[in-house]
Amino acid sequence: MQKRILGNSNLEVSALGLGCMGMSFSFPPFPEKKDMIVMLRKAVEKGVTFFDTAEVYGPFTNEELVGEALQPLRKEVVIATKFGWEINDGKMVGLNSRPEQIRRVAEASLKRLRTDVIDLFYQHRVDPNVPIEDVAGTVKDLIKEGKVRHFGMSEAGVKNIRRAHAEQPVTTLQSEYSLWWREPENEIIPTLEELGIGFVPFSPLGRGFLTGKIDENTKFESTDFRSSVPRFSVENRKANKAVVDLLSAIAITKEVTPAQVALAWLLAQKPWIVPIPGTTKLHRLEENIGAANLRLSADELNQIDKAASKIKIEGDRYSEATQKWVDR
C-alpha cells in the first residue's frame, strides 16, 4: 500500500489506517478476541501500518487487544491512542484533560499497548476546563521524556487547534469527514493546510451507511451507538439513501464497491488525509484496502461533488448528549 506523511511531520503511515474501536466498543455484537488478533496481524501483512485505539474503547479492552496483537510487529506499525475522559466504573462520566490525568493515562496506555512509546497521542475531546496550552505542554513534556512521539487532537475547533499548535506542534487532527459529513471543508481543512497538520477522518464510511449495506429495514441493538443517532432514524436512512445511490452509480462504472468509491474520494481530497475505516471482518478489510488503488479522475470527482451538492443529508450525526463534547 502507498504511504502518506501526516502534515509537516515526519510521521509516515499507510494511506489507509484501521480504526479498531468497533472490535470492542460501540458496535456490538463484538467478535472473539482471538479472531481480531488474527485480523490485526493480517492487516499488517496487507500493508496497513496505522492503527487507532483509545483508552475509553471498552474501556481499556481495545488497547489491550491492539497491544497483544501488534506486539510481535511493533517496529512495523504506528499506534495511535487517546486521553481526555474521566472513567468511573467503566463509564465515561465527563472530560478530564488535567495534566496529572494525561500522565496517568499515558503510563496506563503504555502498559496495555505493550510498548515503551506511544506513536501518536490524541486529546480525544477538548476539555473546556483545562487551558489547551496546559494540555499541549503536558504532551510536549511526554515527548521530551520519550514516552510519546506525536501530539494529535480529535474533534477540535479551529481556535483550539491554533492555540495548541503554538505550544506544541499538532501532527494531526482526527475528526469525522466523509461524503455525508463535509463540515470540515469550511474551516478545518483550510486551517490544517495552513498550519501543516495532517487529517485523519474517522467514520469515513458514515458508520457503515456508505457501504450500501444499511437501509431502513436494518435493526440496531440498543447498545449500538447508531441506535441513538438521529441520522440513523428509519426516516432519515430512507432520505439519506440518495448519497449511497450516488456512490453506487459511480461504483458500477468502475467495477468497484460504493465503500471503495467513498474512500477513494476522501483520499483524493488532500495528500495528507489518511482515513481510518473500521471493520471486524477480513473481507471488508480487504475491500477497504482496495480503495487505496482506486483512482478517480478529475471529471469523476467533479461529478460526485456536483451530485452530492444537491443532496441534503437528514439528521444530526450525534445525539444531543454526545454533541456537547464536540469543540466548536
Domain boundaries of the chain, sorted by first residue? 3-205+269-294
| Residue 297 CB contacts under 8 Å (≥ 6 apart), including other chains | none
The arithmetic mean of pLDDT across residues 39-65, rounded, is 98
The arithmetic mean of pLDDT across residues 146-151, rounded, is 98
Q: Which of 79, 87, 78, 39 is nearest to 60 (CA)?
A: 87
What do you get for the CA distance between the two ends of the chain, in Å?
Answer: 35
Beta carbons within 10 angstroms of residue 91's beta carbon = 11
pLDDT at position 320 is: 82
User: Rounded to an integer, what distance in angstroms lies between the CA atom of residue 141 and that of residue 85?
Assistant: 20
Residue tagged active-site, from 57, 122, 177, 318: 57
Beta carbons within 10 angstroms of residue 71's beta carbon = 11
Q: Which of 183, 55, 164, 43 is nearest to 108 (CA)?
A: 55
Contact 122, 82 (CB under 8 A): yes
pTM higher than 0.85: yes
Q: Is 57 a catalytic residue?
A: yes
Question: In b/e form, how buried is each residue of 222-246, taking b as 16+ CB within 10 angstroms?
Answer: eebbbebbebbbeebbebbbbbbeb
Architecture per CATH, domain 3-205+269-294, reads as: Alpha-Beta Barrel (3.20)
Give the pLDDT confidence of 14-51 residue by residue, as tens digits: 999 999 999 999 889 999 999 999 999 999 999 999 99
Give the pLDDT confidence of 211-253 residue by residue, as tens digits: 999 999 999 998 899 999 999 999 999 999 999 999 999 999 9
Give the pLDDT confidence of 174-189 residue by residue, as tens digits: 999 999 999 999 999 9
Alpha helices in 22-153 (DSSP H): 33-45, 61-70, 99-112, 132-144
Contact 291, 264 (CB under 8 A): yes
Q: How confident is the model at residue 322 (pLDDT cuts 50, 70, 90)?
A: confident
